[in-house]
A = this chain, B = another copy of it.
């Protein structure tokens, strides 16, 4: 029994010492009770050349589980060091969907060796899954599920589960198919266990259930698993034949990856599928520079607006000092709206048909926010900037210009912030790209334009 995260740093240290001192028997005893994910993360902290050694100490089944959790670099290193027998042993222990994940990451030479040492049936199944496009339900499904026949009794079904269960990824949900492998129904192991031995599977199975297709988007599938609290979803091919299932653990991984991608896009980063510390400097550079360049160049418009009003600025120089405040507040207001809407779209809470509702809500929020900010800002300008700092060029009229601009900017920012992501979604772009940085650039230009128009009108410059 381990308490969650009770003493991990200490444990890692002890294990590193044991490896160092070659006390392998103790090391084995320390490692075997751990979870595979923890051993894999300990391996991540070890020098590369020690990993095969640690790996060979583990009991076969645990070794396979650890193997799945390792980084692909480490997996490749291990596979290259494996004898053919070792490779076959590990592969035999893996579930098919994990093997496919590994195959997808390996260079061609390693893939060839993996396929050579899988049995013909597994090889065929791996190749079948590899055919599905990335990010499709087919690419994350496993073909190792329990299938039953409608005419079986519960007793027959239990026998079949006991016989085939050890090789299946899950037995918690079983699927009923006809002789053409068409999906007819599903039932949980609980239903089977709680039924009478002579009940007929076809009578107790659930006929109303949701299925997905091999080409469905993996994110939609994962969201469905989460929405309906399912442990697995069946996947059918074009001929409605049951070809696999997607399990909840894979769905959680998909949700996590997709969320990270969304967050990266919102911060103007091209999404990568590697953890931060595993990504090389050049790779990180490549994922960040395109948006930086694009946004830098688009700031030209904002510069042009300032250049266009150079005379006004020269006449009332104090106006320049409030440019950052107006730009930042506009940017923040815009990103608040856009991020709320983008997250709502991701979670399927907001659809395009809600555009009217969203805009109407944002308009009202904008009015209240704008008014509050303007009033507070006016007070601050007069009390702090004018009296406290003694900046006499901050006259009530100048303050009025700034605060009026504030109201208009907030209004435009919220409006642009909530509409752009929805329009992006509508025309098939990713709404997440319409987040803070992009909105900020647009709102900057708008707010400066408003600022100078109001200034020239009210201050007669």
Chain A interface residues toward B at CB < 8 A: 1-5, 32-37, 158, 161-162, 165-166, 170-172, 183, 189-190, 193-194, 207-213, 216, 220-221, 224, 226-229, 231, 233, 248-249, 251-253, 255-256, 259-260, 262-264, 266-269, 275-277, 281-282, 284-285, 288-289, 291-293, 295-297, 299-300, 302-304, 306-307, 310, 313-314, 317-318, 320-325, 327-329, 331-333, 335-336, 338-341, 343-344, 347, 349-350, 354, 357-358, 361, 364-365, 368-369, 372-373, 376-377, 380, 384-385, 389, 391, 435-437, 440-441, 444, 448
Contacts and interface: CB of A to CB of B under 8 A. Distances in A.
Given A231-B172, A340-B276, A292 B391 contact: no
Q: Is the interface of A mostly helix, strand, loop or mixed?
A: helix
Contacts of A307: 318, 321, 391
Contact of A336 (B267, B338, B350): B267
State the 10 A-B residue pairs at the shortest beta-carbon distance, nearest first. Answer: A33-B208, A299-B325, A267-B339, A229-B249, A302-B324, A276-B344, A303-B321, A306-B321, A275-B349, A281-B364
A288 B252 contact: no
A221 B323 CA distance: 46
Contacts of A295: 328-329, 332
Given A189-B172, A349-B277, A448-B324, A376 B303 contact: no
Given A210-B35, A211-B1, A220-B4, A333 B369 contact: no
A329 B441 CA distance: 10
Contacts of A303: 321-322, 324-325, 385
Contact of A320 (B183, B224, B313, B350): B313
Given A193-B158, A255-B255, A310-B317, A211 B328 contact: no
Given A329-B299, A358-B277, A209 B1 contact: yes
B285 A299 contact: no
B226 A256 contact: yes
A2 B209 contact: yes
29 contacts: A2-B211, A4-B210, A4-B220, A5-B220, A5-B224, A35-B228, A165-B193, A171-B190, A172-B172, A189-B190, A226-B252, A226-B256, A229-B249, A248-B249, A263-B263, A263-B339, A266-B266, A268-B335, A276-B358, A281-B365, A288-B369, A292-B333, A296-B376, A300-B384, A303-B321, A307-B391, A323-B323, A328-B441, A335-B436
A410 to B, nearest CB: 8
A337 B97 CA distance: 34
Contact of A269 (B276, B291, B340): B340
A248 B262 CA distance: 23
A362 to B, nearest CB: 9
Contact of A37 (B227, B306, B320): B227
A347 B292 contact: no
